A = this chain, B = another copy of it.
Amino acid sequence: MARELEVLAEGQGEYHRVDPDGFREWVRDHKQRAMVPKLMSAKEAVERFVQDGDYIVYECNYIQRGPAALIREIIRQGKKDLWVGAKFTWVDVALLVEAGCASKLDVGFFLFGPVVDRAVKEGRVKIYEYSNVVMTNRIKAGAMGLPFIPVRSFGGTDGFKYSGAKLIKDPYTGQPITIVPALNPDVALIHVHQADIYGNARVFGTGISDVESALASRKVIISTEEIVDTEEIRNNPGITAIPYYCVDAVVHLPFGAYPGEMAGRYASDVEHVVEVVGATMRGFVRQYLDKWVYSAQDHFEMLDKLVGWRKLQEMVQRATIKEGYLP
């Protein structure tokens, strides 16, 4: 047999190691298949489950239902050399780069600006090129336990050259087709509406690839607006988005998406968002971090000291759209 199957072209970008068997062994040896309580503080969750050098994914941070409080905790703890799956990201990449946390980016999309630009030019940050959908497809493949997945996009781009993609001759159609490496991140950070203490989680509304990220990642930190009883989860099994057995930590963080929106619960803090976008675009990220991240010991102190109940209450009142965001 051993018929040939041509590889027509290959990208030259470094890519996160493809090792589905190794991932399986990680799951077997580290994920709790019994229901054990996983409630802990953001500090503990980030200390235990985010290591220097880890590949992290999250999405829509500072926009809607992003894990904003968890990202700020990562910055506070000064994690290093993170490789960020920068798909559907925004200002947070600049925050992580300014804080010295990130050194590699798989892009996607994010809000560029002087801080990241300088870091890239000085070689402190390396960029590998993908697109948002190619990145979520890679995570999807990771969440299927596969080593790679075909995609019908990305072929012919210059990004392809700086990626882990390959163009092969499809053994079924004989036509060229692009395949991309599956992505099994080290860490997924996911903010949800409701979770029980074991990690069974509910998400309402659209998302990018939260469920896939939860399944695909070696370590999963869920932050949640609300802790619900497992009995409540069992009353409606059809709306459980994330099953407990892929979750490592559950952190109860009301307003955990602040300053972003949490659909059905609170609107965004527009002023804050305008401030951080401005800081990113103009390069004043250090000032932003000093003011909003380093100045508070944790999320709750930040809300108390820098935001205040009145503002939070006002954000809640502006969240007038409820349809589809309640169980």
* Interface segment out of the listed A2-10, A48-56, A72-80, A275-283: A2-10
* Distance between Cα atoms of A162 and B136 in the complex (Å): 34
1/0 contact string of A282-320 vs chain B (CB within 8 Å): 000000000000000000000000000000000000000
Q: With A149-B149, A237-B324 in contact, is A173–B18 under 8 Å at CB?
A: yes
A326 (CB) vs chain B CBs: closest residue = B236
CB of B148 within 8 A of CB of A152, answer no
Report the bound CA distance from A325 to B37 in whole Å.
Answer: 28
Q: A residues within 8 Å of B by Cβ? A: 1-10, 18-21, 145-150, 152, 164, 166, 168, 170-173, 175, 177, 179, 181-182, 204-205, 234-239, 323-324
Across the interface, A179 reaches (CB within 8 A) one of B2, B8, B171, namely B171
Cβ A148 vs Cβ B171 within 8 A: yes
Contact A1 B5 (CB under 8 A): no
Please name all residues of chain B whose beta carbon is closer than 8 Å to the beta carbon of A205 when the two chains form the complex.
Answer: 238
Across the interface, which residues of B come within 8 angstroms of A181, CB to CB? 172
Known: A21-B175, A146-B149, A148-B170. 20 other contacts (CB 8 A): A2-B7, A4-B5, A5-B5, A7-B171, A19-B173, A21-B173, A146-B152, A147-B150, A147-B170, A147-B172, A147-B173, A149-B150, A171-B179, A172-B181, A172-B182, A235-B324, A236-B323, A236-B324, A237-B324, A239-B239
Assembly CA distance A150 to B36 (angstroms):
33
Chain B nearest Cβ from A233, distance in angstroms: 11
Q: Which residues of B contact A324 (CB under 8 A)?
A: 235-238
On chain B, the residues within 8 Å of A18 by CB distance are 172-173
Contact residues in B for A152 (Cβ distance below 8 Å): 20, 145-146
In the bound complex, what is the Cα–Cα distance between A170 and B6 (angstroms)?
12
Residues of B contacting A323 with CB < 8 Å?
234-236
**In the complex, which residues of chain B have a beta carbon less than 8 angstroms from the beta carbon of A204?**
238
Asked if B5 and A9 make an inter-chain contact with CB atoms under 8 angstroms apart, the answer reads no
CB-based contact B1/A4 at 8 Å: no
A35 to B50, CA, bound (A): 47
List chain B residues, Cβ under 8 A from A179: 171
Cβ-defined contact, B1 with A10, below 8 A: yes
Assembly CA distance A177 to B18 (angstroms): 13
7 A-B pairs with least C-beta separation: A5-B5, A18-B172, A3-B7, A146-B150, A236-B324, A147-B172, A238-B324
Complex: A148 Cα to B173 Cα, angstroms: 9
Minimum distance in angstroms from A265 CB to a CB of chain B:
15
Instruction: Give the residues in chain B near A8, CB-CB below 8 Å.
Output: 1-2
Residue of B nearest to A181 (CB): B172
Give Cα distance in the complex from A236 to B321, angstroms. 12
